Amino acid sequence: MSYKPRFLQKVALVVGQLSFVTALVSAIFLYFKVNELGADHPVSASFLASVFFFTFVGILLSIVGRADIPDLKIRPSEKKPRT
């Protein structure tokens, strides 16, 4: 059986990659805000939370997008007659 990712798995891969890019952009903003405002400022904490969130969303969606999910559709020819 060959692996063929479905449409939503492809979407998950793309969104996962975008999440990694967003995490990188948030990390850059975090670096500048920590230098400007300090590490104890709420803005710095929110950028740190954004880096954490987008990194793990990217990991999760990348795993889901690469998973070999079987086709679970029930086709009419496979139905058993009722007894």
Domain boundaries, the chain: 7-78
Tokens 């990991």 -> residue:
59
| Distance set, CA 69 to CA 4, 8, 64 (Å) | 9, 11, 9
Output the six-digit token pair for 20. 């990694």
pLDDT in tens, 43-61: 999 999 999 999 999 999 9
Contact 26, 50 (CB under 8 A): yes
d(Cα 39, Cα 15) in Å, to the nearest integer?
29
Higher pLDDT, 14 or 73: 14
Q: Give the phi and the psi of residue 74 in degrees, each rounded to 5.
A: -95, 120
pLDDT in tens, 4-19: 788 999 999 999 999 9
